[in-house]
Structure 1
Amino acid sequence: MKKYLVGGAVRNGILGLPIKDRDWVITGSNPKILISKKYKQVGKKFPVFLHPVTHEEYALARTEKKNGTGYKGFKVNYSSKITLEEDLIRRDITINAIAKDKNGTYFDPYNGLKDIKKRIIRHISSSFSDDPLRVLRVARFAALLFHLGFRINKKTLILMSSNFLRSEILNLEKERVWQETEKAFKTFNPHIYFQVLFDCKTIYIIFPEIYNLLKLNEKFCTLNDINFTKQKVFQGLAFISKYTKKIDIRISFFIQLFDLNFNIFISNNLRICFLKFFKKYVLSMFVRINVPNKIKNLSILFIKNKYFLININVKSSHEIVLFLNKINAWRNPNIINKLSFLVDFYIKFLNIFFYKKKYNNFYPGNYLKKVFKLTKIISFSSISKNVKNGIEIQNKINELKKIAIENWRNSLIK
């Protein structure tokens, strides 16, 4: 029985990247032997075991033969006679098919070390097409390693664009789509993930909503002679990713970029109609791929209130108090920080990359933070004890908050 460290731990170790999980392959063994050594079996279709001390995952070397559709349609063989080379060839790309033994010796039958040196992401064999999830995985690795100079091999990109793989992608479970997308958004360059999906012509299958919104923007720009391409959207995602690692903010900002033109160039009535469509369309995408509520709720909240936030300085104090009540700011003060960051960054992006100082130097995020700070200290204890009716209490608190905002605004004029 021999043990080998494999996959991302080996790749990241060579590249000097953080190693989060360590996965192992075992050759020359079987489930009975491992169970006798106190390993705990966790795999069903193929044996994966947890080490009795480290609790790291150990998998028996195996081969996989396609016998169905999607990424689950495989016949697995984990005989003790399966070699390390046979196990490694079933993996997706060469840089993930390097093994290392306990002495630190590398086993690299498919030239992963050479591809790491050349900064190439390349598929191992034609069996790459057996698993449609690999299209998303390669796009995600392209995003993960972009800052190190990695690029996808041309033949691999052609294979990812095949009609067979595009049809197989339809069989992917929504949870798997979200898992890869979430990992992509955590990289330094999440925009590369979407660019690759465009390059291999699968974006309209995996994210038809994104594809259709971009096409709608391009059509609108053609009609109005506006210089807009999808690169502007990717540029915006790249821009915000330099300033925050929080994926709920990254995703919320990315979604808003599909509304760029409609914010400026259409009438108020049409804008309201588009906003309703836009909100429902984005929400349907989030539901379809099972995006967590934390991310979904922030994105939809920003869609619904972006124009209010952009113009908060000309809204009445009463409107501002009602807005703070509506978003439940008093019980969830962190939402103020997130919305402030998002709206200021949205305007910064427009000023730098798109509309050339249309909004001048007014950044409403600070304005929002100030009015919230002024009003959050006003509570039940701020009013007379003689006020006991629930509605009267709320009205009185709202009135005091409105007065606090008015007094602050008057002080700015002086």
Structure 2
Amino acid sequence: MKIYLVGGAVRDALLGLSIKDKDYLVVGSTPAEMLSLGYRQVGKDFPVFLHPKNQQEYALARIERKTGSGYDGFSCDANEHVSLEEDLLRRDLTINAIAQDEYGKLHDPYGGQQDIADKKLRHVSMAFVEDPLRVLRVARFAARFHPQGFTVAAETLTLMAQITQSGELEHLTPERVWQECERAMATDEPQVFFEVLAQCGALEVLFPEIHALFGVPQPEKWHPEIDTGLHTLLSLKQASLLSQDMAIRFATLVHDLGKALSPKESLPKHHGHGQKGLPLIKNLCKRLRVPNDYRDLALLVSDQHQNIHNAFELKASTVISLFDKGDFWRKPERLDGLLIACIADIRGRTGLENSDYPQATYLAHCFQLAKQIDVQQIIAQGFAGSDIKNQLNRLRILAIDEYKLTLNEKQPN
């Protein structure tokens, strides 16, 4: 039996990155031997064991053969004669196919260290095309390692396009697609994930609502980048700079889906695009089983981002109605998410990445003023029933009107 450290831990150590998880590969052993040593088996499809003391994962070396469609269409052979090289050959990228033995020596039969030096994400072998999930994984790695300068090798991108054209992506479960998407969204450059999917044709298959935005023009006066798809990815990049919250990033990604439905005769204008996008967001979230809190914020941002951009022109009563509709009284964090997504929208434009957004400060202050109205004082004054809510609403509107008046007085003539 020989044990090797493999996968991400070896790769990240070579890149000088912090190591989160360690995976070990066992060559020359059997399930019976692992169990006799006190390991506990957890893998159903192939033998994976937990160490009896530290609970880290140890997998037997294995060979996989394609037997059907999709991510699960494989048979697994994990006999004790499978070599280290045979196991590493089935892995996705060369940078993930490096092993380290107990003495610290690296075993790199497929050139992973050279690809790390060259900043290339390259497939190990033609077995790459057998697993459609690898299209998403490579796109995710492209996003994760973009800050280090990595790009997808041209020949690997060609194989990703081949997988897309084969129809294999359609066999992926919604859960796996969303899992890879969410992990990509957590990186510092989430927009790269969607750029790579677009390059190999997978965006149209997996995220057709986002794909439909590319080629849709916007008014150059407001959007120097013109293309709505480009604006969407620029906005997502800005959202990643502003917040680590995945719901905010997702809401920013889908905030303009309705622009793909604008009549051609009205282009480049997009009247009512926020509301037109609501059914598209609902369908996307239902199809990929997106968490409800992500969906709800996304719907709010799509519906209200134009109102937020026009905040200074809104009547005080409209501002209160917006707060009511968003249920901000009970969930004030939703207002924060909405405002951050709107900042990302404004900054997601070529040459306007550092734009100020006073609307956010203004609305946040309006909300604080409205929240300070004490309902107990209203009750103490003798209001009852529906009159309590009416008086609360009236005082909140009055507080915002007074604030607007002070702002107007400060404006130069």
Q: State the SS of the aligned residue for 1:214.
A: coil
> What CA distance in whole angstroms lies between the structure 2 residues aligned with 1:240 and 1:342?
6
The match for 1:318 is 317
Bigger drift between 277-286 and 62-71 goes to 277-286
Residue in structure 1 matching 2:391, options 393, 396, 400: 396
> What CA distance in whole angstroms lies between the structure 1 residues aligned with 2:275 and 2:318?
21
| Deviation sequence 1:339-397 (CA, Å, 0-9, x none) | 2222233234458449x98xxx6621111100111111223222142536331221121
Cα distance 1:347–1:118, how it changes in 2: closer, same or farther (>3 A)?
Answer: closer
| Deviation sequence 1:50-84 (CA, Å, 0-9, x none) | 11221111111111000111111111011111111
The number of residue pairs the alignment matches comes to 402
Contact 1:132/1:165 (<8 A) preserved: no
Bigger drift between 311-320 and 110-119 goes to 311-320
State the shift of 1:175 in Å.
0.7
The match for 2:42 is 42
> What CA distance in whole angstroms lies between the structure 1 residues aligned with 2:376 and 2:42?
56
Does 2:362 align with 1:367? Answer: yes
State the shift of 1:260 in Å.
7.0
> What CA distance in whole angstroms lies between the structure 2 residues aligned with 1:294 and 1:384?
34
Contact 2:235/2:347 (<8 A) preserved: no
Runs of 5+ consecutive residues of structure 1 not aligned to the other structure = none
Cα distance 1:246–1:166, how it changes in 2: closer, same or farther (>3 A)?
Answer: farther
The match for 2:246 is 247
State the shift of 1:177 in Å.
0.6
> What CA distance in whole angstroms lies between the structure 1 residues aligned with 2:225 and 2:27?
58
Q: State the SS of the aligned residue for 1:81.
A: coil
The match for 2:80 is 80
> What CA distance in whole angstroms lies between the structure 1 residues aligned with 2:383 and 2:278?
40
Matches within 5 A, 1:314-353: 314-350=313-349, 352-353=351-352
Q: Which amino acid aligns with 1:47?
A: P
Q: Which amino acid aligns with 1:387?
A: G
> What CA distance in whole angstroms lies between the structure 1 residues aligned with 2:316 and 2:276?
29
> What CA distance in whole angstroms lies between the structure 1 residues aligned with 2:156 and 2:322?
50
State the shift of 1:203 in Å.
1.4
Matches within 5 A, 1:253-292: 253-258=252-257, 271-272=271-272, 274-292=273-291
> What CA distance in whole angstroms lies between the structure 2 residues aligned with 1:80 and 1:95?
25
Contact 2:64/2:76 (<8 A) preserved: yes
> What CA distance in whole angstroms lies between the structure 2 residues aligned with 1:231 and 1:344?
17
State, as a whole percentage, how many aligned pairs show the same letter: 36
Structure 1 residue ranges (4+ consecutive) displaced by more than 6 angstroms after TM superposition = none
| Deviation sequence 1:279-324 (CA, Å, 0-9, x none) | 1112211221111122111111111111221222222222222221
> What CA distance in whole angstroms lies between the structure 2 residues aligned with 1:287 and 1:63?
36
Cα distance 1:321–1:277, how it changes in 2: closer, same or farther (>3 A)?
Answer: closer
Contact 2:236/2:348 (<8 A) preserved: no
Q: Which amino acid aligns with 1:402?
A: I
Contact 1:49/1:59 (<8 A) preserved: yes
Aligned CA-pair RMSD: 2.6
State the shift of 1:47 in Å.
1.2
Q: TM-score, normalised by structure 1?
A: 0.90
State the shift of 1:154 in Å.
1.3
The match for 1:187 is 187
Contact 1:65/1:76 (<8 A) preserved: yes
Runs of 5+ consecutive residues of structure 2 not aligned to the other structure = none
